[in-house]
Amino acid sequence: MQVAFHTAEDLSAAVEHVFRELPVLLYHKLDSVAPYTGFQSHNGIEMYFIESGSGVYLAGDRAYPLSPGTLMIVRPFTLHKVLQTDGVFNICRSVLMWKESLLKEHWPSQEPYPLTHMSADCCRIQFAPPEAERVSGIYRSLQEEWSGRRSGFVQIMGCLIKELLLLAYRSYKEEDQLHPAPKLPDLPEEISTLVQYIGEHFQSELTLDALGERVHMNPSYLSSLFHKHMGMTLSRFITVKRLHYAKKLLRESALSVTDIAYQSGFNHHTYFNRMFKKQERLSPLAYRKNVERSLPGTKRQ
């Protein structure tokens, strides 16, 4: 199956469109490189399983290594992106996305709900070969149900997702937390450090000179290196982080658009409006109204 979207924003919008009709979406054994450079963010749990190949998964403010048997579990509205690091073999992956209500609302009260006990924004599980083959089999069964769309397929997929989630939770609990994190393939430490630093400080003023100082690099070389590995400029990455936070405030608060602009790190609300509309293809107020229509129970803080 080919990825037929021009931007990450297009893909995110397509996921949201499917979720209006169905609580689950599956891309099985994708082996083509995504043609876009941006970040995805959608209102669903993503379970990203690596069948073969290697790379880096950026989620939230961290970078995670990908290898055969890796399962990434990403929470709703978390910025995420995959970096292809192998120049010869593409990553082959199965991507499952589902609305949390599919399982959580009917979860047995006597069982702990796994996602409440796992890492906040993103969790990495590394399955050993026997378990990885079992997980791959679950994805095959999910694909059979998804492609056939026979009576009860959503409920059956829900059962399979529950099995997958419980296997991930068991592996998560049994994993030896003392083991060092696997090395990130071909991603310079300076880039990984900057991804985390910008994620924690995007609300403040960030200049290329200051960021270069932080990782002891010439600003011009740092800019070139960042673009090479991330597929976007440093300034674009900072803007993406700020706009993502602004969307969170638009969904979850009653703050004015001007206040949201400044709290998200923009110095001018007119520039914020322009950048928001360029990325989302609608104004901040229109985005908020769309959220209110689709999520009538959204809680304002």
State pLDDT tens for residues 110-151: 888 999 988 778 999 999 999 999 999 999 999 999 999 999
Calculate the alpha carbon distances from 222 to 46, 132, 181, 195, 215 in Å. Answer: 31, 38, 25, 13, 9
Domain 189-294 has CATH 1.10.10.60: yes
| Long-range Cβ contacts of 140-145 (<8 Å, 24+ apart) | 140/28, 142/26, 142/28, 142/96, 143/26, 143/28, 143/29, 143/94
Distance in angstroms (rounded) separating the CA atoms of residues 72 and 122: 7
How many other CB atoms are there within 10 angstroms of residue 138's CB atom?
18
Lowest mean pLDDT among 25-34, 152-161, 195-204, 226-235: 25-34
Q: Position of tokens 């990984």?
A: 192
Q: Distances in Å between the alpha carbon of 183 and those of 48, 210, 214, 231, 301?
A: 19, 27, 22, 21, 40
CATH top-level class of 8-174: mainly beta
The confidence score (pLDDT) of residue 179 equals 52
Instruction: Give the pTM.
Output: 0.85
Query: Can you give the residue ranges of every domain in the chain?
Result: 8-174, 189-294
Q: In what order do the strands lie in the sheet with 55-59?
A: 62-66, 55-59, 80-84
Tokens of 91: 């990553």
Where does the pLDDT of residue 3 fall: very low under 50, low under 70, confident under 90, or very high at 90 and above?
very low
Which of residues 3 and 71 earns the better pLDDT score? 71
Work out the angle between the directed axes of helices 284-294 and 234-252 (0-180°, nearest 10): 50
Please provide the average confidence, as pLDDT, over all residues in the chain: 88
pLDDT at 256 over 60: yes
